[in-house]
Each structure stands twice: as C-alpha cells, then as structure tokens.
Amino acid sequence: MPTLDPQQTEARTWFEHLRDLICAEFEAIEREAGSDARFDYIAWDRTDPSGEPGGGGVRGVMKGRVFEKVGVNVSTVGGTFEGEFGKTIHGAGEDPRFFATGISLVAHMTNPHVPAVHMNTRFLRTTKQWFGGGADLNPPLPVEEDTAEFHATLKTACDAHDPAHYPRFRKWADEYFYIPHRGVHRGVGGIFYDHLEGDFAAGLAFTQDVGRAFLDVYPRIVRRRMGLPFTDADVARQRAWRGRYAEFNLVYDRGTLFGLKTGGNIDAILMSLPPVATWD
C-alpha cells in the first residue's frame, strides 16, 4: 500500500485514538464491577489481490463480567478491488483502486438489561472520497429512558454541524438496520450516514463528534443498567434477540460484505457475532 498522505494519516490517527479512549473506558467499567478483564489485541496484515502489501489492522476483544464480548477493531487498508465488487462501491466503477480506514465496534453484554451496541466510522477514497458510519442501540429489553438519551446525544452532535443531519441520518438508520425476512428492526435505531463528501476537515470534524457522542452516552447507559437483577427468562429473550442480530450481520450488513470482499481479517470481520445466541 502506498505511503499515506496527510488526510489519510489524520483520519487513521483519529480512529486509533478513539479506539484507545473507548477501550480504556470499557476496561474502567469492568474494574468498577470487580473484574480484571482487559482487551487482547491482535494485529493482522492484508495482502492485496495484486500481491502487494494491502495494509491491515488491529483486532481488540474483551470478555469480562459486564461485557460478555466486545470487539473494537481499527483497520487501514488499500489497493484494488477484485472482480465485479468494485463496481458496487461509490466512485470505483471505472477505477478499482481504493483506500479505507476506520473503527468498528460491537458490544454484547452479560446483563440483558444492558443494551448491546454497534458503532463504526470510516474514511474511504476511490475516485471520490467520503466519510460514513454511525451508531445504533440494540437492547433485548428496551427502556425508553435509554433510547431517548442515546438519540438525544446523537442529535446534539448532529445539530452542531447541520440541523438536517439528525432527521436524515436517523431515518437512514431505521431503513438500513431492518431485517426484511423478519419484518422487524434490529434495535431501537440511532444514526447512519454514508458518502459524506465535500470538505475533508468538515467531514472529519463531524465524524469525530459522532465518536465522542458515543463515548459520552453509552458508558452512562451501561453503568445505569449493569447491576440490575435479571431472570432466566430475560436471558432467553436476550439470546433469541441475538439470533436476529446475527442474521442481519450475516445477510444484510454492508460492512461485513466489504471486509470479506477486500480480504480483511475473518475474525475481525465476524467479531460482531454474539458469543451465544438461540433459534427456536
């Protein structure tokens, strides 16, 4: 992969910094629960279809008392799309060269009262360049207070940049995180955005604020719910709901497909899958 230019370097540096902040906060929550669980980090390298080095990333996974399984991955990859896949990517129809850097996070929680969560943000370049990402809350046992606070925090982050962002990106999340064959949404929503083109600095600033908003709101929700008692029936509902989550990620999720089609690390791509799920 060619040497990164200043914009690529700045984006990658931010995603790695955000990873460090999030992992430190999640480990602090484990300490508060009396657990010494920490993230294990595994670096991986990618070979481009051309045979040249194609970048790589670091997979971070923690299994603790509060976080049954949480993965926080960062990657920076580039090279050429293989075969017809490039024609499905914004700006790569005629030129298969690409660059992508980002962070991806999925947390599955021990206590069914603590919502699972997904967050990812990314910067991509083909013949065009853009930011994308978002965050969505996935509670097995929804609580309106948590849903409202999660959305309000994301709305505040959006409104600081463009009042049109939140209603547009919330609607986009509702449409995207939907399981057609089940006729249900994956969770209680959040925001989803893609192809945020234009000024690099503005796009990065918005993407940074999305990351900061997630780091602000989600740990508060976890701390509020992690000590609540739960029943076997609650766990059964959680595991059945996780089955729906797995179905979405394996059948419809664009990030999963992108990782598989670009030769990413399989364990990092599939870290989003829950540790235990059930289907009746």
Q: With H, G, I as helix, E, B as strand and everything else as coil, classify residue 218.
A: helix
Residues noted as catalytic: 118
Tell me the two tokens of residue 210: 């999305």
Residue whose pair of structure tokens reads 């497909």 in the numeric block: 257
First to last CA, the chain: 46
Q: With H, G, I as helix, E, B as strand and everything else as coil, classify residue 230.
A: coil
CA gap 12, 116 in Å, rounded = 26
Residue whose pair of structure tokens reads 């990314």 in the numeric block: 122
Q: With H, G, I as helix, E, B as strand and everything else as coil, classify residue 95.
A: coil
CA gap 202, 208 in Å, rounded = 10
Tell me the two tokens of residue 107: 């947390």
CA gap 268, 258 in Å, rounded = 12
CA gap 59, 23 in Å, rounded = 12
Q: With H, G, I as helix, E, B as strand and everything else as coil, classify residue 227.
A: coil
Q: Of 137, 129, 142, nearest to 190 (Cα)? A: 137
